[in-house]
Amino acid sequence: MDTYYYPMLWLLIAVLAIGIMAVGSGIGLYGKRLSEEPQFQRQFLALRRLRLILWSLVVLLIAGGLLTWSVERDTKRQAYQQLKADILAKYDKNTVWMAPDWSIAAQDPNYELIAYGKELIANTNDYFGDNGIVRPHSINAQNCQNCHLDAGTKPFGNNYSGVVANYPKVRARSGTLETIPKRVNDCFQRSLNGQPLDTTSREMEAIVAYIQWLAMGVPKGEKPKGVGLAPLPYLDRPADPARGKIVFESKCVSCHGSDGQGLPMPGAFDRRYPPLWGEMSFNQAAGLFRLTRFASYVKANMPLGASYENPQLTDEEAWDVAAFVESKPRPENPFIKEDWPDISKKPIDHPFGPYVDSFPETQHKYGPFAPIADFYASKGK
């Protein structure tokens, strides 16, 4: 309705205002003559009445327009709130989570902020990379959606579906209560190997608003099916970088290049596939530097076009190519002295000691992981 109604309303008000100004000018120009000469008294009173009528019409139109706009706005908000309630009511923990239809985002009062958040997740480098328009040279060559696929919406692609439902929470890695902005900045400092955002900035507000919008259908405390990554069965041997190199050369170089630095995306101006190692890739503090995480990520999502339903690699290929990538140089872990204050809570694939077990760092990095998992299971952890 507001597509045509409100522009026509304001056009009509503008026309009336012009009419009032014309009448007012006439009264001002001829007012003295009209008021002093008896034969013009009738015309003078008519012009004054006309001006009063026109002003009354303007006031009525403005009041009616504002009332209609207010009612329509409230109706839309109520309908949108009901839509969100309906989506929440349909939540099924046994069904793989799917992101809300993006077309309904336009109904949200914070749509512009949400849309900006989505854009920041999808094209982070445009805003913070070498030529960033918000804060240049402050991250590596990655975008948030290189880890959180399809702007954080892909099932088993590190999506954001469970974030709002489970934060704030105490995390063993930091040993502290963490908020959503803290987790966002973790990604900026680890996966993007850059500087954190000001938590009061419009960019942080936008990213959080987008994550909150995505989670509209997930009840508090729930972890939807498809959140995070699909666990991959352990190998009974260490993952082998040499075997992984063969997989990489046959499956990965078409996007990431033989040097792993990422090739230009066809048909996409000035965009490249992400670098998998080197100074412009994620650092050793990133979650994907853990082999169980990266192998699971690769299995369900790589090469391009793969999904958890239609993987393109075997389990062994996923483990080995992940080991090959993780064997390459990358920025060091800047939080190695701060992370995991309780070392007994380190994940079995955390590649940096010390540990409460006797397994070497190389086994914590490449496996086999089953003996380590069995050790902690026997301790009730």
pLDDT, mean of residues 77-81: 85
Are 295 and 348 contained in the same domain?
yes
Does a structural domain hold residue 95? Answer: no
Computed over every residue of the chain, the mean pLDDT equals 91
Are 169 and 191 contained in the same domain?
yes
Distance (Å, whole) CA 155 – CA 230: 9
Q: What is the pLDDT of residues 260-309, one digit of tens each?
A: 999 999 987 789 999 999 999 999 999 999 999 999 999 999 999 999 99
Are 79 and 109 contained in the same domain?
no
Helices (H), the chain: 5-36, 41-89, 111-122, 124-128, 149-152, 163-166, 180-189, 202-214, 241-251, 253-256, 291-301, 315-326, 361-366, 370-378
Does a structural domain hold residue 258? Answer: yes
Q: Which pLDDT value is given to residue 67?
A: 83
Q: Which pLDDT value is given to residue 80?
A: 86
Does a structural domain hold residue 234? Answer: no
- Is the model's pLDDT at 29 over the cut of 70? no
Are 253 and 324 contained in the same domain?
yes
Give the CATH number for residue 266: 1.10.760.10
Domain housing 37: 5-89
Does a structural domain hold residue 227? Answer: no
- Is the model's pLDDT at 19 over the cut of 90? no
Band of pLDDT at residue 61, cut at 50, 70 and 90: confident
Are 252 and 134 contained in the same domain?
no
Are 180 and 247 contained in the same domain?
no
Q: Closest Cα partner for 379 from 345, 339, 340?
A: 345
Q: Into how many domains does the chain fold? A: 3
Final residue belonging to a domain, choices 168, 197, 214: 214
Are 335 and 207 contained in the same domain?
no
Are 342 and 363 contained in the same domain?
yes
Distance (Å, whole) CA 198 – CA 180: 13
Does a structural domain hold residue 219? Answer: no
Model-level pTM? 0.85
Does a structural domain hold residue 94? Answer: no
Q: How many helices (H) and strands (E) does the chain have?
A: 14, 2
Are 49 and 9 contained in the same domain?
yes
Final residue belonging to a domain, choices 46, 63, 89: 89
Are 45 and 167 contained in the same domain?
no
Are 332 and 368 contained in the same domain?
yes
Contact 93, 225 (CB under 8 A): yes
Are 85 and 108 contained in the same domain?
no
pLDDT, mean of residues 370-377: 97
Does a structural domain hold residue 223? Answer: no
Q: What is the pLDDT of residues 202-259, one digit of tens each?
A: 999 999 999 999 999 999 999 999 999 999 999 999 999 999 999 999 999 999 999 9
